Amino acid sequence: MHRRFLSLALALAILPVAPWSALAEPSHALSMHGDPALPADFAHFPYVNPEAPKGGRIDYAVQGTFNSLNPFIVQGDGARGLFDAAFGVTTFDTLMMRSRDEPFTLYPLLAETVETDAERSFVEFTLDARAKFSDGKPVTPEDVIFTMELFRDKARPLYQNWIKTVDRMEKVGERGVRFTFNERADRESPLLLGLLPVLPKHATDAENFDKSTLEPLPGSGPYVVDAVKPGEYVSLKRRPDYWAKDIPSKIGFDNYDEIRINYIRDENTMFESFKKGNTDIHVESDTGRWESGYDFPAATDGRVVKETFVSRLPSGMYGFVLNTRRDVFKDRAVRAALANLFDFEWANQNLYSGAYTRTRSYFDGSDLASTGVPASAEEKALLAPFPDAVAPEFMSGEWTPTKSDGSGRDRAFLKQGLDALKAAGYRLQDGKMLDPAGKQLGFEILLNGPSGQAIATAWQRTLSRLGIAVDIRSVDSAQYLKRQQTYDYDTMLQRYTSSLSPGGEQVGRWGSSSRDLPGTYNFAGVAEPAVDAVIDAMVQARGKAEFESAVRALDRVLLSGYYVVPLYHQPDQWLARWKHIEHPDETPIYGYQLPTWWRAD
């Protein structure tokens, strides 16, 4: 019997007449580990301005295009800003709301209370009696169950996997919904359900839900879709009758009367739009531009403000994803050799004025990182069934990316790459790197427009010195997204964000179950039993030490697998804004939070 159900059976044997509700008490919050930081009577989140003025319009810019207003399905290019961590959950309220000042804790939104047991074998949400959709109809348990069933059957694989952990859904009383979990669930499952939206059963076309559409989906959030120009912009209008505007979890949020998401083809055009005042905020990732590109009149006279924000999150991973579905990247030794031929020292100095830090872990800059830390006894026990999954230098914590002298002509740097490829069965002949069958080693780097051209060219330049044929192909955003969703690429640039509470999303990035499903984030095509095992241990962990050991074990397996060529990260967040956009004084551990900002004029 699974340990969760064994423990539950023992509890019921001791208390044979105790109902489920006797095993737990309703709470105002739910956290992954430990207790919530805020009490039941909290007034607002600590990183908002409760007196923030309401009104005006904010213009954001995103790169790409869109042809659908359904952000929950695989088909189509879904519009940003409707259900978005960066711009806010604007049109679809979720059962609970995440605090960005804690690793992973949820507070009331559609659900005013939450209840679960020690084993987290079930979760029960009690809806707020005030909750209403934008058409004025109340949010009911039937709507919650309808949405969960709809997402289980027709939403993106990520959402489907969350809901497939549920064995039974049932209405409890007038406003309660209980989900009883099956053996696929883990300790994170109740929180993941709490982050799902609720759609109105009476106004949702269930039959065609998985088809892209420009017809707005109805929701219960603070905004409704007001105007749409396909491929160019989506305009959202704030609801004056929004039901949750005065609850503590929403104080200080949703401060604009109008939010416009403008779609722009490439990053340089986005910056030019910002300079002209057509957009209000520009999140900067180009070091050269951050250093010298803000010399236009509005920036020099103070109408545009440059700011640096410090988050306390892990770095995440930005790098070239090696698609192991392709024959060229099936051999880990070849992936390792290619990864160690990225000349960071030259690129950082010549392309970025030395502003970046080399990324050495998927959780760099945090206690979750494995680099520099020998594997603990707990990690070794987790990895013992998979003796070949982690190379010795990663187990000992002694691995560091290969360094060059920064000249771009470091012969020793190139020789170590040559030796590694020879050991993998390749030979350098007539200026070409050939496999045993005489085929030249080569691949294509896929780029989303011109973004990433410089760093791709830098890697191409180094690899060409060893006779490796690298082509760089830049396509428009629509084609890029299509090829990304169908895994039609050799390698591409990808940024994997990270948090202090990694969990079920790691299955969608690295789990075997996601490898062959279209539209997942398993871009590298990973199907490794050790990865599956440590992710399972991570999401099942109860204590902090147990959790951190599992995350570090995952870090070691991913690094040792060389699924991504680690590049670099910014130690801080860079953002420029027009002066009429202001923000709270407090920055939470997740960094700046755009949904809490406001227009001062």
The set of residues, in sequence order, having a beta carbon less than 8 Å from that of 395 and lying 6+ positions away, is 374, 375, 380, 383, 556
Q: Which phi-psi region, left, alpha or beta, contains residue 56 (left: φ > 0; alpha: ψ -120 to 50)?
A: left
The predicted structure's pLDDT at residue 499: 87
The predicted structure's pLDDT at residue 12: 33
On the question of pLDDT at 591 being above 80, the answer is yes
Residue 13 pLDDT level (bands cut at 50, 70, 90): very low
Compute the distance between CA of residue 590 and CA of residue 601 in angstroms, rounded to an integer: 27
Please check whether residue 29 is in contact with residue 115, taking contact to mean a CB–CB distance below 8 angstroms: no
Least reliable range by pLDDT among 47-51, 284-288, 380-384: 284-288
Angle, alpha carbons 591-596-598 (nearest 5°): 125
Structure tokens at 513: 């179950």
The predicted structure's pLDDT at residue 143: 98
* pTM attached to this predicted model: 0.75
Q: What is the crossing angle of helices 411-423 and 332-339, to 10°?
A: 170
Residue 247 pLDDT level (bands cut at 50, 70, 90): very high
Structure tokens at 140: 């009911």
Give which of 439, 443, 467, 466 is closest to 456, Cα–Cα: 443
Please check whether residue 295 is in contact with residue 576, taking contact to mean a CB–CB distance below 8 angstroms: no
Q: What's the full length of the chain, in residues?
A: 601
On the question of pLDDT at 352 being above 90, the answer is no
The arithmetic mean of pLDDT across residues 349-374, rounded, is 92
Compute the distance between CA of residue 474 and CA of residue 451 in angstroms, rounded to an integer: 9
Q: Which string of DSSP letters, residue by residue, matches 376-414?
A: PHHHHHHHTT-TTSS-HHHHTT--------SSS--HHHH
Compute the distance between CA of residue 377 and CA of residue 392 in angstroms, rounded to an integer: 15
The set of residues, in sequence order, having a beta carbon less than 8 Å from that of 339 and lying 6+ positions away, is 322, 401, 562, 564, 565, 566
Please check whether residue 263 is in contact with residue 272, taking contact to mean a CB–CB distance below 8 angstroms: no
- HEC string for 416-451: HHHHHHHHCCCEEECCEEECCCCCECEEEEEEECCC
Instruction: Answer positive or negative: Cα dihedral of 418, 419, 421, 427.
Output: positive
Assign 3-state DSSP to the chain and report helix, strand, coil percentages, each to 5.
30, 20, 50
Quote the mean pLDDT of the chain.
92
The predicted structure's pLDDT at residue 442: 98
Amino acid at 244: A
On the question of pLDDT at 23 being above 60, the answer is no
At 259, give phi and psi (nearest 5°): -120, 125
Compute the distance between CA of residue 24 and CA of residue 8 in angstroms, rounded to an integer: 12
The arithmetic mean of pLDDT across residues 530-554, rounded, is 93
pLDDT by residue (tens digit) across 476-498? 988 999 999 999 999 999 999 88
pLDDT by residue (tens digit) across 91-130? 999 999 999 999 899 999 999 999 999 999 999 999 999 9
- By DSSP bridging, strand 281-284 and strand 568-569 are unpaired
Higher pLDDT, 1 or 443: 443
> Domain 317-569 in CATH: superfamily?
Dipeptide-binding Protein; Domain 3 (3.10.105.10)
Structure tokens at 256: 């604009």
The predicted structure's pLDDT at residue 539: 87
On the question of pLDDT at 388 being above 70, the answer is yes
* Residue 250: DSSP 8-state: G
Residue 16 pLDDT level (bands cut at 50, 70, 90): very low
pLDDT by residue (tens digit) across 507-533? 999 999 999 998 899 999 999 999 999
The predicted structure's pLDDT at residue 77: 86
On the question of pLDDT at 264 being above 80, the answer is yes
Give which of 591, 600, 575, 592 is closest to 305, Cα–Cα: 575
On the question of pLDDT at 563 being above 90, the answer is yes
The predicted structure's pLDDT at residue 285: 83
The predicted structure's pLDDT at residue 571: 79
Amino acid at 566: P
On the question of pLDDT at 377 being above 70, the answer is yes
Please check whether residue 577 is in contact with residue 275, taking contact to mean a CB–CB distance below 8 angstroms: no
End-to-end CA separation in angstroms for the chain? 63
Instruction: Answer positive or negative: Cα dihedral of 533, 522, 593, 249.
Output: negative
Q: How many CA atoms lie within 13 A of 457 on its CB side?
A: 8
Residue 599 pLDDT level (bands cut at 50, 70, 90): very high
On the question of pLDDT at 11 being above 50, the answer is no
The predicted structure's pLDDT at residue 14: 34
Residue 265 pLDDT level (bands cut at 50, 70, 90): confident
CB neighbourhood size of 473 (10 A): 15
Compute the distance between CA of residue 450 and CA of residue 438 in angstroms, rounded to an integer: 33
- By DSSP bridging, strand 30-31 and strand 105-108 are antiparallel
On the question of pLDDT at 178 being above 50, the answer is yes
Sort 240 into a burial class: Cβ within 10 Å, 0-12 / 13-18 / 19+. exposed
On the question of pLDDT at 501 being above 70, the answer is yes
Across 262-266, 310-314, 447-451, 461-465, the highest mean pLDDT is recorded for 461-465
Residue 15 pLDDT level (bands cut at 50, 70, 90): very low
Structure tokens at 480: 């890029």
The arithmetic mean of pLDDT across residues 161-182, rounded, is 97
Domain boundaries, the chain: 317-569
On the question of pLDDT at 398 being above 80, the answer is yes
On the question of pLDDT at 4 being above 80, the answer is no
On the question of pLDDT at 381 being above 60, the answer is yes
The distance from CA 196 to its chain's CA centroid, rounded to whole angstroms, is: 15
Q: How many CA atoms lie within 13 A of 437 on its CB side?
A: 3
On the question of pLDDT at 22 being above 60, the answer is no
